[in-house]
Amino acid sequence: MPTPDPWYNGAMKTGRIIRSLAGYYDLMLSDGSVERTRARGQFRKNGQKPLVGDWADFESENGEGLIWSLHPRENSLVRPPIANVDLAIVVTSVIEPAFSQNLLDRQLVALEAAKVQPVLYFSKLDLLSETDQVAFQKQVQLYETIGYTVIFSKDDWRNTFQSLLKNQVVVVMGQTGAGKSTFLNELAPNLKLAVGEVSQALSRGKHTTRQVSLIPVKVYQTLIADTPGFSSYEVFDFPAEELGDYFPEIRRVAPNCRFRTCSHLNEPGCAVKEAVELGSISAARYNSYELFYQIIKGKRPVYQKNSSKWKQDRLN
């Protein structure tokens, strides 16, 4: 640990960063109190940046604090920028904005790579007709088959989350306009977060959440992060050869491939391709894998932005 500046003569403290804004970091201590700090210039020189969720050692005097060191991270996400997350609730809109399986799979890959447990929450199901609700639920059953927890907005989801969230650090993430703030307000009404309207012309939401912050929610004994939304998601900061590890269904089958270095694209004796042909691996999920592999390798094919296949099938 670096030697403290003589300006500080208080004892070193430890807290978790719960908010970052304009160069200031708010740290929550074990007793629930919050102190505002800045980071030492040495972090910038070393190419480090404190993240919301980081544990940090700091000193403070007369209401001014300075972060001296960060504890090792268990994990971290790039989008949203947050560290030491236990659970990620991926809020995905069924409609307005239209459901995109491609976007959902991108988020799941990023969470798998960061070793963060995902929970899928599908919002706005009530905006569909009963027939379309059944069709949509049937389509996304594949995620339950893979092993993900899937929750719909029409379910009795509060009781489900009661057990999932206890004593967890939780990030709520999703596309702009998907309904993250609405979901959080229903989950914990005391939060009173701003809720934006979705633009019909652009099928995008107004940015009502502009920063990452961890909010204590006593009823669940947890810290929940509401995060900025996004209209696209391209975070693949790992080699293409690792991609299969972040698709659980591919990871389970890949050891049966003829070649240990199988990319699951064109090689003979590929157990993954065989599983796709037999239907035990979803063709739609495999298409996401193939697309992401090409993106990582620098081949960016043109693909249909709106992947609401269940709706397309009904129109054909």
**178 assigned binding-site residue:** yes
> Is residue 280 classed as helix, strand or coil in its secondary structure?
coil
DSSP E strand stretches across the chain: 13-21, 24-28, 34-39, 55-61, 64-70, 76-77, 82-83, 87-93, 117-123, 149-152, 169-174, 198-199, 204-205, 213-217, 222-226
**205 assigned binding-site residue:** no
CA-to-CA separations, 50 to 4, 25, 222, 313, in angstroms, rounded? 18, 8, 21, 46
**179 assigned binding-site residue:** yes
CA-to-CA separations, 69 to 15, 30, 32, 76, 251, in angstroms, rounded? 11, 17, 20, 17, 37
**155 assigned binding-site residue:** no
The span from the CA of 132 to the CA of 158, in Å, is 24
CA nearest to 181, candidates 250, 229, 246: 229
**270 assigned binding-site residue:** yes
**63 assigned binding-site residue:** no
**177 assigned binding-site residue:** yes
The span from the CA of 165 to the CA of 151, in Å, is 14
**262 assigned binding-site residue:** yes
45: tokens are 């020189």
**176 assigned binding-site residue:** yes
How would you classify the pairing of strands 222-226 and 213-217? antiparallel
Instruction: Determine contact, residues 67/20, Cβ cutoff 8 Å.
Output: no
The span from the CA of 179 to the CA of 200, in Å, is 15
56: tokens are 């940090």
Q: What are the φ and ψ backbone dihedral angles of 25, each rounded to 5 degrees?
A: -130, 125
**123 assigned binding-site residue:** yes
Task: Report the chain's terminal Cα–Cα distance, integer Å.
Answer: 65
- For residue 301, the one-letter residue type is P
**45 assigned binding-site residue:** no
**182 assigned binding-site residue:** yes
Which residue positions form the known binding site?
A: 123-126, 174-182, 257, 262, 264, 270
Binding site, annotated residues for Zn(2+): 257, 262, 264, 270
Cite the annotated binding site for GTP by residue number.
Answer: 123-126, 174-182
